[in-house]
Structures are given as structure tokens and as C-alpha cells.
Chains A and B, each alone.
Chain A
Amino acid sequence: MAPNSQFSAELRVFEQHRDEWSRSHPGDFVVIQGDEIADGFFGNYADALRAGLQRFGVRKEFLVKQVWLTEPVYCIS
């Protein structure tokens, strides 16, 4: 997590569930704002974004996070 992360609360919630979620829903997306988790897992980013907008609105940002046990490092050559 980056220092002074604007998603620090959400990422802390995610870390509390990472092991469990990565076993039950690897590769799916979750949506979190503060310590509140949107219902369900989402098979793609667009569906997760839409669910986040419906649940939390757009006034305050929410975390859309793909569930992996280990965070991938993306290659951009």
C-alpha cells in the first residue's frame, strides 16, 4: 500500500478478506468504500464499477479491487 493512500481504509478491509476471497472468488472484483463492502463479487471491472456507482454514488471515491492472493506486477516493457 502506498504511504498516505487515499484508499488506506478500503485496502485494510480488503487485506482482512484477501485470503478468504482469493480462495472463493479468485480473479473477481469487489467494491469497498470505507469499511462498507458492496454486496457480491463481480466477474468484470465494468460490472463492479456500475455496482459501486449505484451503491456509493460518485461524491466519494470507492475502491474497485480484483481479488488475487498475490498482487500481479504488470509488464509494460
Chain B
Amino acid sequence: MGSVHLKWSPLDLTDPGPIIEVTVMNSPDVLSAWRTDGLECPAPVRMKALLDTGASVTVISKVYANYCKLLQTSEGSKVTAIGAEHHCWEHAGAISFPGTDLRPFESIRIRSVVFEKEPYYAILIGRDILRNWTITFDGRHRLVTIVD
């Protein structure tokens, strides 16, 4: 069982929420297939992720999905943000949490959308991942704790 403590203050009204460092890469199955075919494997990319209980699925910036060369496996689905619908793509990927002992997620579906503005974070960790964790927020001590 892994855990991590994240400092986060809810008092800053411009702060979207708790942020965690993640590493995004292709799933081990895809990397293995690429290696077998003698293809070059892209390196893992470290980025900031927002823990977003309002996101039903995990969504990465399309720019970062391309940068990570995530294998695309579908397209044409939609996401809605504040009532507006956006086109999204689907990719196979893996997400790990460097500097923590949280279990990585391998061979998961990651949607990508074009972020209107490239914000402070590159990926939203949605409820498809959050549902695997126990998350507590201690407002007095401004501390978010994740246990998997």
C-alpha cells in the first residue's frame, strides 16, 4: 500500500486544486511491441497533474499526448466542460507517480483534448483513477493525503 501527502491551500482562489507530479508514457505492452519491431521508444515525460474529482475520466492536453507519442486507439468521442462539448481522442498510456510509492497505472485509456489555454498542469487525473484511492483533505493543515 502506497501513500503520499500533498501540500495544498484552498485559500488561493486562482488555484484549481491539488497538483501531483506524474510521469506519462506508453503502456508497457506497446513499448514491448515497439522494441520487438526494432522501433525507437519515446522517453517517459514528467508533468504536473491536477487531481480533479469533477472529471469523470483522465484527460491529457493534446499537445502533451503528441509530445509523449501516446499510441492513439480511437477518436470521435466527446467531453463536456462547463456545458461546451469538445472533440477528444483516446490513447493507450501509463501513468506513474515519481517520488512516491503509489502504484502506477499501466495500459489505461487516456483521453486527450485541446486545452484552450495551456494551464499550469498538463493532465487531469479523473475519477477513473481517483476511484482506486482513498483521498482525504485536511483543510486545517492544508494537506491532501492519497492512499492506494
Contact = CB atoms under 8 A, between A and B. Distances in A.
Interface string B21-47: 000000101100110010100000000
B88 A74 contact: yes
A64 B74 contact: yes
Interface in A30-77: 45-46, 49-50, 52-53, 57-59, 61-65, 71-77
Given A45-B109, A58-B34, A76 B126 contact: yes
A1 B71 CA distance: 19
Contacts of B92: 45, 49, 64
Interface residues of A, number: 27
B108 A1 contact: no
A18 to B, nearest CB: 13
B71 to A, nearest CB: 7
> DSSP class of B's interface residues: helix, strand, loop or mixed?
strand
B15 to A, nearest CB: 15
A6 interface: yes
B77 A72 contact: yes
B79 to A, nearest CB: 4
Contact of A45 (B33, B79, B81, B108): B108
B65 interface: no
B75 A7 contact: yes
B11 interface: no
Contacts of A7: 74-76
Interface in B62-76: 71-76
Contacts of B96: none
A52 B76 CA distance: 19
Given A49-B107, A57-B37, A74-B88, A6 B55 contact: no
A77 B37 contact: no
B49 to A, nearest CB: 13
